[in-house]
């Protein structure tokens, strides 16, 4: 199964995760001759990773010195929230009402029926439609029978839709007799 191309945001998140996974998880801060240094510890020993320059603003220094632990914490928190989000979505789906079928498009159904020669003949014989039996005359007659101004009302007005269904049933019964 092929997966969709990851979004730029997902690519960046994957790159961040990869960098964190490749880096050590043991970070520290130490002083080196009056300078503050960020260190990383591994089996091979302690390594100086970054040195804060003299006079660097304290806010920027704090951000850099705490970045490794902050990044690890953010990723873990993000992962925990994502797990919780998926669980809540699954729970909502369990309690959500079942999806109803797509509502019928009675306006389109009526338009198709009005173009059928048998429906035109039904309207002529049973509802007084006069010749010529054009699509426009049929549409006008149906709007009159159903007491609507537009076939679009069949999708918006429950009573109009019920009248359409009755007319359609009468047509089906007429057709079975013929």
Q: Are residues 33 and 53 in the same domain?
A: yes
Sheet holding 45-51, edge to edge: 26-32, 35-42, 45-51
Residue at which a domain ends, from 65, 95, 125:
95
Give the model's pLDDT for residue 42: 87
Give this prediction's pTM: 0.50
Nearest alpha carbon to residue 78 among 27, 22, 17, 7: 17
Between 154 and 94, residue with greater pLDDT: 154
Do 91 and 123 lie in a common domain? no
**pLDDT 10s digits, 36-51:** 999 999 888 889 999 9
């Amino acid at each position: 199964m092929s997966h969709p191309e990851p979004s730029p945001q997902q690519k960046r998140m994957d790159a961040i995760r990869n960098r964190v996974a490749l880096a050590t998880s043991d970070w520290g801060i130490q002083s080196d001759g009056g300078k503050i240094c960020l260190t990383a510890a591994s089996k091979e020993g302690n390594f100086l990773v970054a040195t804060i320059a003299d006079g660097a603003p304290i806010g920027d220094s704090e951000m850099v010195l705490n970045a490794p632990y902050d990044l690890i914490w953010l990723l873990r928190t993000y992962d925990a929230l994502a797990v919780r989000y998926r669980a809540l979505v699954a729970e909502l789906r369990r309690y959500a009402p079942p999806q109803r079928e797509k509502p019928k498009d009675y306006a389109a159904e009526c338009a198709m029926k009005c173009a059928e020669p048998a429906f035109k003949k039904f309207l002529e014989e049973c509802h007084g439609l006069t010749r010529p039996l054009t699509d426009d005359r049929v549409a006008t007659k149906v709007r009159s029978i159903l007491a609507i101004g537009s076939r679009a009302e069949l999708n918006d007005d429950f009573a109009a839709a019920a009248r359409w269904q009755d007319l359609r049933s009468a047509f089906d019964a007429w057709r079975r007799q013929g």
